[in-house]
Amino acid sequence: MLPQPISIAIVDDHTLFRSGLASLLDEFDEIKVLFEGKNGQDLQHKIVNHPDVQLLLMDINMPVMDGFAATKWVKEHHTNVNVLALSMLEDEKAIIGMLRAGASGYMLKESTPNDLLLAIKAVVEKGFYINDLVSGRLLIALKNGDSGPIFSTRELAFLQHCSTEHTYKEIADMMNVSPRTVDNYRESLFAKLNIRSRTGLVVYAIKNNLITI
């Protein structure tokens, strides 16, 4: 007997993209597209009729109610529904913003259907999907709930600032240290966690409750 397909919905304000993606995903036996929404408000109206939806593919830039607000609303009112961000935006602000709102992963719209399928499966099965944001070592640590390394008070303060939009120079000013010292905090955390991006540090900090959001 074949396993039940994963029930998903697509929330995107571009009708052609939304419908085209739904058609592509319908080709996979593992996926069942339950409904489509044109923005967060439309999602709110439709999700009540689909209590069995497991995952939402969420765009970010949408009118009326964008992906950030919609994701936050979903995690507050439908805690068992996963959100996988699907956007054209590749900047750290967008990625961190969606993760802070409650998204379980982040994909670019230029991704292949097969890559998207793998991401959907990972979110449903493991609760989180990461690609080039963090290392494989970090993924294992998150999955197993390892306590991880020990951080200094200053490193934790630096992590908190990293979740904001401030530049490294601005963070140095706020912490009353030199830019070189901030560089040392960053490099120390990179070495401890085997991470090579600011986004990866924030992902780790959020998932391990090291910062306040």
Three-class SS string for 139-199?
HHHHHHCCCCCCCCHHHHHHHHHHCCCCCHHHHHHHHCCCHHHHHHHHHHHHHHHCCCCHH
Predicted confidence band of residue 195 (pLDDT cuts 50, 70, 90): confident
CATH (domain of 171): 1.10.10.10
Prediction pTM value: 0.66
Predicted confidence band of residue 3 (pLDDT cuts 50, 70, 90): confident
| Domain hosting residue 52, numbered range | 6-131
CB 173 within 8 A of CB 182: no
At residue 92, the pLDDT reads: 65
Summarised one tens digit per residue, pLDDT across range 91-100 is 767 777 787 7
Boundary residue ending a domain (131, 160, 194): 131
Q: Are residues 94 and 16 in the same domain?
A: yes
**What Cα–Cα distance (Å) separates residue 66 from each residue in 69, 98, 154, 192?**
6, 11, 35, 35
Question: What is the number of domains present in the chain?
Answer: 2
Please state, in angstroms and rounded to a whole number, the distance separating the CA atoms of residues 183 and 201: 14
CATH (domain of 110): 3.40.50.2300
Summarised one tens digit per residue, pLDDT across range 80-121 is 999 999 998 877 677 777 877 888 888 889 889 999 999 999
Boundary residue ending a domain (131, 146, 169): 131
Residues contacting residue 63 through CB under 8 Å, at least 6 positions apart: 13, 39
Summarised one tens digit per residue, pLDDT across range 144-188 is 555 457 777 888 899 999 999 899 999 999 999 999 999 989 988
CB atoms within 10 A of CB 188: 16
